[in-house]
Structure 1
Amino acid sequence: MDGSVARPRPFLALAIRLMTAVVFATMSMLVKLAGERGVHLAELVFWRQAITLALVVLTLAILGKLASVRTQRVGAHARRAIFGIAGMFFVYGAVMLLPLAEATAISFTAPFFAVLLSVILFGEKIGKYRWGAVALGFAGVLFLTQPAFGLGDAGSINPFGAAVGLVAAFLVSVISFQVQDLNKTETPWSIVFWFVLLTTPVMALALPFVIQPHDAETWAIIIAIAVAGALAQILLTSSLRFGSAGVILLMDYTSLLWATWYGWTIFDRTPPATLWIGAPLIIGAGLLIAWRERQLAVARQKTETVQP
């Protein structure tokens, strides 16, 4: 597909991913607000997809780029849709069950799952640095979710919510691999279009069982979630198009600052001391993985250069 493959532009990728982190943190805050107003998770996901589909089609029609969504990889899009809609349920569920900052910190375990998937799916050999990073990261998760250490309020972390957050992070890592693969042949608009097109009818089947009347402010929140979600998907897909996932994921860590600020200013939630110890362990582990990935990439480039 013409124009589908972009050359690497790391600084552009980092800037886009930084914007993505802000939009995702804002969307998470809105999701939590919607949950507190009684919006059912399935209804929220439906409107998120349906409104995004309408926005994407309208934008492509205005730009005269509807033809850009043509694809010969419907199967790959369908697999991405299955994991994507499941991931959305778990990501939104974690935000509803946990304080924003803690849910965000747990989401940072996605790179650790990506390392494990590299071993399982691609047979990649993982050395002591990356295995050590995975162990360090999950130690941070255990610390973050354990009030027994006496550094946080007892019961401040919902164990079920923490489990939902970990599943969400695993699914995000799977989706990152899928999106990177699709980026080889598809445009960002095509990837987002097929995702919402394939999942909206499925969610519509559940809508009659969960839909409720809402006031104007709640509808404004639901629409804002959909707009933020559409923007976040375009930014996310574009960032993976211009840079490697292992490096640009570093920008995701800035979302913890926004999540903490939103939690404090909107939900009157002061982060417990466990967050300030567990989160740095998780972030430090992610940085170690990114550094090691960069080293390995440079080594591979040198090897390819010297080969005849």
Structure 2
Amino acid sequence: MNPVRGILLKVCAIALFSVMASFIKATADHVPPGQAVFFRSFFALIVILVWLAQRGDLATGLKVNNGLGHFWRGFIGTTAMALNFAALGLLPLPEVTAIGFTAPLLTVIFAAMFLGETVRLFRLSAVGIGLIGVLIVLWPRLTIFGETDPYTAATLGVMFVLGSAVFRALAQVHIRKLVQTDQTSAIVFYFSLTATGLSLFTIPFGWVMPTAQEWMLLIGAGLIGGLAQILLTSCYRYAPASVVAPFDYAAMLFALLIGYVWFDEVPTGYMLVGAAIVIFAGVMIIWRERQLGLKRGARKNLTPQG
């Protein structure tokens, strides 16, 4: 285990996923979510194959020891992706990101439930603080005193992101299991392959011919998403899911910046206050993990006279 390396890989993956999401959002008014899933998955395969070739692992990197596990990981991950892409067409990018913070919170809980990972009070407290921050960000939509129609597109978007968060958390826990039997390359490749195949079932629901700009954005989303998926899957080899999950909070910074610069989405006071709280929660996790790492190292270096 190397928690620092796992955390760095996770942050890099989140940054790339934020860029990918902005590409998908830019096409969401015209391109259906299922079609976007196809581009995201199919072109990710190119990145994965190049990665395998560079490692000299093309012949053995795709060996499967748990075929059924790969299928369910692909099915769960594809469902999460499709719901998230649908939400990007209905909500501002920072809001999709904020609601999506439910996923790392659920991952901490699922990791304890299904993987037996130890999650102590300090980390649970930090996760709780992060959840408060998410609720503050969403308060204008959650308040019962507003005049918002509960059946508006925005409300539907919130439901899509919440559903996506559940499936994302399950997928992350499932990855933690798969890395115990299969290589990272196989996990990433067969996820993209499964998602590509499943996305074709959405053709009857209305695919469109993308414009030249949309072609570039969709292909770019696939290439960037493939690289991000490799980094995300790799991070679980170096740190438990409950350690790296809170670093999804870094996505708020990227979403605020991209939303403001690209989509003219000006953050509200609720958004800024909530973002500050979730960032603080992430810093708490970083500090705690550093302290625990120092204590572990000190114990290892103690002599019998220590």
Normalised TM-score (structure 2) = 0.81
1:144 aligns with 2:137: yes
Residue 22 of structure 1 aligns with an amino acid whose one-letter code is: A
* More moved, 88-97 vs 213-222: 88-97
Tell me which of 104, 107, 111 is aligned to 1:114. Answer: 107
**What is the CA deviation profile of residues 226-275 of structure 1, one whole-angstrom value per residue up to 9, with x for unaligned ones?**
00110110111112222333333454333322211111111111111111
Per-residue deviation, 1:118: 4.1
Q: Does 1:72 align with 2:65?
A: yes
Identity %: 30
Equivalent residue letter for 1:241:
R
Aligned in 2, Cα 1:132/1:241: closer, same or farther, shift over 3 Å? closer
The equivalences for 1:135-214 within 5 A come to 135-147=128-140, 158-214=154-210
Match of 1:47 among 21, 24, 39: 39
Give the CA deviation at 1:32: 0.5
Q: Distance in 1 between the 2:242 and 2:155 partners?
A: 29
Structure 1 residue 194: Cα displacement? 1.2
Separation (CA, whole Å) in 1 of partners of 2:182 and 2:141: 48
2:36 maps to a residue whose letter is L
Find the aligned partners of 2:181 and 2:96 in 1 and give their Cα distance: 33
State whether residues 101 and 165 of structure 2, in contact with CA within 8 Å, keep that contact through their aligned partners in structure 1.
Answer: yes
- 1:266 is matched with which residue: 262, 266, 284? 262
Q: How far did 1:43 drift?
A: 0.6
Structure 1 residue 104: deviation in Å? Answer: 1.6
The 2-side partners of 1:208 and 1:58 are apart by 32
Greater CA drift, 22-31 or 206-215 = 206-215
Query: Could you tell me which residue of structure 1 aligns to residue 88 of structure 2?
Result: 95
Aligned length: 296
What is the SS of the residue equivalent to 1:66?
coil
Instruction: Name the SS for the 2:28 alignment partner.
Output: helix
Let me know the Cα RMSD of the aligned residues: 3.4
> Can you give the 5+ residue segments of structure 1 that lack an aligned partner in the other structure?
1-7
Does structure 1 retain, via aligned residues, the 8 Å contact 2:104–2:248? no
Assess, with a 3 A threshold, how the Cα gap between structure 1 residues 284 and 195 changes in structure 2: closer, same or farther.
Answer: same
The alpha-carbon distance between structure 1 residues 211 and 265, as it changes in their structure 2 partners (threshold 3 A), is same
